[in-house]
Amino acid sequence: MPYKKYMKASACALLLLLCPAATLAEPETILQDAAQNPVLIEAIAQQNRQYEDATSFELMKLDTRWQAETAAMKRPLIEGVLYSPTSQYLKKLADEHQVKDMIYVTDQRGLLVAATTMTYRYIMDDSSLWRQAFLADKNQVLRNAAEDPGYMVLSRGVRDPKTGDVIGVISIITSNAGTPPPTQHAATTETDPPAEWPDS
């Protein structure tokens, strides 16, 4: 090997040893950082106020509308969520940490506030795990197997910085495969009846 090429290769190898690839943040760390983001907290609080007095029937109509829009050309409800500043923040966070799986946020009624990718449902209360996040200790991350084999759901409550109350939930779906699961992972009305929502 010519001397110059040898020296160049050696220098590159030395740089790799001295500057190893950045380690990716653990899902728990990502959730903790996101849960303290002011934009995300305000988005949850605003949506809580918006749907505070909505009936279970009205929320189910929104969910039905969301599902219909997944196959429609015009999708105002879906695009209002996926292109919101909060969703853009989550996507940037996912890109920074090379997260290939879904990150999403729900309000106190289980309605989607923001997400990094499309979901099949607007109601994303994910059975008992979602409910437990409102009762868990501060900063506690809950784990539960997703409905799709090979995937794990990690969730934690998002708290109002003034009162300390949980106002919503942020979740991340992880997998060993490194690819996002089918979007049908959301809870169903059979497993999560609207009558059991926290403030219904």
| Pairwise pLDDT comparison (3 vs 14), residue with the higher score | 3
pLDDT band of residue 183 (cuts 50, 70, 90) is: very low
What is the distance between the alpha carbons of residues 70 and 78, in angstroms, rounded to a whole number? 8
Q: Is there a contact between 101 and 180 (Cβ–Cβ < 8 Å)? A: yes
Task: Convert the pLDDT of each residue in 43-53 to its tens digit.
Answer: 999 999 999 99
CA of 90: how far to CAs of 31, 33, 47, 94, 188, in Å? 10, 11, 17, 6, 25
Helix (H) or strand (E) holding 156: strand 151-159
Task: Convert the pLDDT of each residue in 96-130 to its tens digit.
Answer: 888 878 899 999 999 999 999 999 899 987 656 77
Q: What angle do CA 48, 138, 179 make, to 5 degrees?
A: 75
Backbone angles phi, psi at 9, to 5 degrees: -65, -40
Rounded average pLDDT over 173-188: 49
Let me know if 163 is exposed, middle or buried by CB neighbors in 10 A (0-12, 13-18, 19+): exposed
What is the distance between the alpha carbons of residues 10 and 106, in angstroms, rounded to a whole number? 50
Tokens of 19: 């500057």
Instruction: State the average pLDDT for the chain.
Output: 78
Tokens of 164: 């300390």
Q: Percentage of the chain surpassing pLDDT 70? A: 71
Res 2: pLDDT:
52
What is the distance between the alpha carbons of residues 51 and 55, in angstroms, rounded to a whole number? 9
What is the distance between the alpha carbons of residues 66 and 146, in angstroms, rounded to a whole number? 22
Tokens of 59: 């929320």
Task: Convert the pLDDT of each residue in 26-68 to its tens digit.
Answer: 888 899 999 999 999 999 999 999 999 999 999 999 999 999 9
Judge whether residue 4 has pLDDT over 50.
Answer: no
Pick the CATH number of 24-195 from 3.40.50.300, 3.40.1190.20, 3.30.450.20, 1.10.3720.10: 3.30.450.20
Written as one string, the DSSP assignment of 123-147 is B---HHHHHHTTTSPTTPPEEEE-S
Tokens of 46: 């605003």
